[in-house]
Amino acid sequence: NLLVNGATGIAVGMATNIAPHNVGEVCDALLLLIDDPNCGFKDILEKLPGPDFPTGGIICGRKGIVDAYVSGKGHLRVRCKAHVESPKKGRENIVITEIPYMTVKSAIVSKIADCVHEGQIDEIADVRDESDRQGMRIVVELKKDADSQVVLNKLYRFTPLQSTFAIQNVALVNNRPEMLNIKQMLQYYIDHRLVVIQRRTRFLLRKYRQRAHILEGLILAVSDIDEIINLIKSSPDAPTAKERLMKKPLRLAESQTLRNILPEAFVAEKSQSDQYLSAQQADAILTMQLQRLTGLEIEKLAKEYAEIFKQINDCEELLASRKLQLDVIKADLEEIKKKYSTPRRTELAGEEAEDINMEDLIADEETIVTISHAGYIKRTPVDAYRKQGRGGKGVIGSDTKEGDFLEHLFVASTHDYLLIFTSKGICHWLKVYHIPELSRQSKGRNIVNLIQIGADEKITSILAVREFDDKRQLMMATAKGNVKKTVLSAYGNPRSSGLIAIKLEEGDSLIGAAITSGQDEVILGTADGMAIRFHEEQVRSMGRASIGVVGIKLREGDEVVSMVIVEPGASLLTVCEKGYGKRTDLDDYRPQHRGGLGLINIKTTDRNGRVVAIKAVHDHDELMLITAKGMIIRTGLDQVREIGRNTAGVRMIRLDDDDKLVAAERLIVEDDHSDKTEA
């Protein structure tokens, strides 16, 4: 009962909380322990994998179960069982069909409603209880385009749909409370059943022996029934008759029928010497009905005695053999299992349910992150920027203050880490979801409120990273043409003040950083329109604080503006400050050895101005162009045809006379056959 039904109780200085289990699984575990008393906890867990709550639900992870079974104490994380339905296009419903043990359905519905009213879960449109005789059904209707997994995580955190069941297997053993592991609990049950069987068998043995004694007297009496009847008839009263019966010597009759039925030992003992009746036997004869004197009834007495004699022998054998007693327990368990076993209700999930953190409550979706020249940062949904044709006027991307302009724009997931590199070669960490989500027109929040960046530092590169591994490399380039490569895992331990990403020479600054596979090719582009392509194997992996090696040799007044990692099938996009640019096949840039002057990439005429950025792009990509006045245009690159390397390019964005292009960012578009353009 303790394991199958569970138990909960609190006393002075102690408490018990035993989880209910599946009766069939408990029977299997008991049978295992009977057959193999030396079995381990692992063997028991195979038969009894965990508690089975009557309300169902999901137990997350095995650690709490193992702790409880091995030590008698553990904590289980129990979640509701839910699935997602889509009754309408663009809308989803979370349907809860099972809830954690010891929780109340009405309280859960009320708590969900409270969370909505308090603004903790604002993605919920309605909650209703549709439970009926067919089963439980709590429907949580979501608002349009709400992320069901994020809402479910919030429900786990803020409502009893995820709860902790604390197991404490305290039970009385010989009237003393003890903390028991699962093997002890099972063994104590087996020991208890042995005691019950022994007591029951002794009771039956005593009962059978008493009946056998009476039957022996009746059988002896009917062997000389005429004398017995005469003796009773001649007695003046019942006590005298009883006394005379007890003094009369009797022997078993020479009846072949009785001899064939009765046990041989009984026949031999009772037929060869005089037998005397006991008081109980004499009373039984005096109260015997006359119909018992018929030949058929006498034969029944003999058969009954033979059967009881066999039962007495069986009881004596059972009391003398522990193995036979265990066989009885096994037979009882098999019968219980056959009669009462039901399928498991509570599902066991392999993964541990960790505490719901902030990241679990935020949808994993792509967003556009922008940082202005003055250091104002924000994130905006990708859809906030409508797609336009090449040469369009653009839309306001940010309401920048006078003298400020957008300097960085890139796409990242809300669950990514941002590696923010400054001009001084320092790397800072920042989770994307920590960046405030604001409208397209908002200027954002100053980044100094999020990371510790000096007033004389400028953000030069930002990378979105999910995992820090040893297989990928971080390639960096400086304005003076130096390049350095370091394993990505070296940047996996953040500090509040940032990490040294690269050691810089005096007057140099970090202009870009990129993640490589270790087998990529790199292109460096300069402000005066030069470019060099080389394999990254020419740059050995170094420590974080090293200077690096020469990547490109610069002419006087020139500087590196961008670093590009070559992608298969891509072309090189070059954008100049006066809104002109071009795409060129990467094959036009032959690989060279690092440290050279490189090749002419674009003509930096008065019409074009100096180069702002170079990017590796594909036909299906889109482009974000940012001007000093905060104007942004989003355009498809399929509208920009490829032209030769040493050319002037075409107009990319129409600029006012007092405006200029300051940044360009590639947007990767996935073809999902939908009418929604995703970046």
Is residue 50 predicted with pLDDT exceeding 70? yes
Q: What integer pLDDT is reported at residue 535 of this predicted model? A: 94
**Domain ranges, ordered by start, for the chain:** 1-80+161-180+321-355, 85-160, 204-319
| pLDDT band, residue 331 (cuts 50/70/90) | very high
> Do 90 and 151 form a contact (C-beta atoms < 8 A)?
no
| Residue, of 587 and 256, whose pLDDT is higher | 587
Confidence (pLDDT) at 456: 79
pLDDT, position 373: 66
Average pLDDT over residues 354-377: 71
- Give yes or no for residue 269 having a pLDDT over 70: no
pLDDT at 404: 59
pLDDT of residue 368: 86
Inform me whether the pLDDT recorded for 55 exceeds 50.
yes
- Tell me what pLDDT residue 292 has: 63
Q: How far is CA 435 from CA 243, 370, 666, in A?
A: 109, 10, 21
Torsion over CA: 629, 630, 631, 635 (sign): positive
- The domain made up of 85-160 is a member of CATH 3.40.50.720: no
In degrees, rounded to 5, the angle at the alpha carbon of residue 527 between the alpha carbons of residues 632 and 422 is: 70
401: confidence class by pLDDT, cuts 50, 70, 90: low
Scan for tokens 């950083």, then name that residue.
513
Given a cut of 80, whether residue 384 has pLDDT beyond it is no
Whether the per-residue pLDDT at 486 is higher than 80: the answer is yes
The rounded distance, in Å, linking the Cα atoms of 595 and 601 is 17
- A 10 A CB-CB count for 453 gives 20
Paired tokens of 631: 């104007």
pLDDT band at 675, cuts 50/70/90? very low
pLDDT at 480 over 80: yes
Query: 61 pLDDT exceeds 90?
Result: no
Query: At residue 399, does pLDDT exceed 60?
Result: no
Which among 102, 99, 103 is positioned nearest to 57, based on CA atoms?
99
Lowest pLDDT segment from 158-167, 378-387, 536-545: 378-387
Task: Give dist(CA 586, CA 210) in Å, integer.
Answer: 107
pLDDT score of 300 more than 90: no
Most confident option among 182-196, 234-248, 280-294, 411-425: 182-196
Higher model confidence: residue 150 or residue 184? 184
Q: What is the largest CA-CA distance in the chain?
A: 152
Cα–Cα distance, 654 to 649 (Å, whole number): 14
The pLDDT assigned to 653 comes to: 83
**pLDDT for position 674:** 32
Q: Could you tell me the two tokens for 580? A: 């002109």
pLDDT of residue 553: 94
**Arithmetic mean of pLDDT, 529-537:** 94
Segment 379-397 shows an average pLDDT of 58
pLDDT value of residue 293: 60
**80: pLDDT strictly greater than 90:** yes
pLDDT of residue 396: 46
Q: Mean pLDDT over residues 178-203, rounded?
A: 94
| pTM higher than 0.75 | no
User: Strand, coil or helix: what is 538?
Assistant: helix
Range name among 301-310, 332-341, 589-598 with the lowest pLDDT average: 301-310
Measured CA to CA, the distance from residue 663 to residue 409 in angstroms comes to: 8
pLDDT at 124: 92
Work out the average pLDDT over 48-53: 94
Percent of the chain with pLDDT over 70: 88
Q: What pLDDT sits at residue 255?
A: 64
Is the CATH number 3.90.199.10 carried by domain 1-80+161-180+321-355? yes
pLDDT at 414 over 80: yes
DSSP secondary structure string for all residues of 408-444: EEEEEETTPEEEEEETTSEEEEEEGGGSPB--TT---
Q: Mean pLDDT for the chain? A: 85
pLDDT tens digits for 550-578?
999 999 999 999 999 998 888 999 999 98
CATH of 204-319, one of 1.20.950.20, 1.10.1280.10, 1.10.268.10, 3.40.50.720: 1.10.268.10
| pLDDT for residue 672 | 37
pLDDT in tens, 622-633: 888 888 887 878
Structure tokens at 185: 């609990």
400 band by pLDDT with thresholds 50, 70 and 90: low
Per-residue pLDDT at 649 exceeds 70: yes
Is it the case that residue 22 has pLDDT exceeding 90? yes
Most confident of 206-220, 482-496, 503-517, 638-652: 503-517
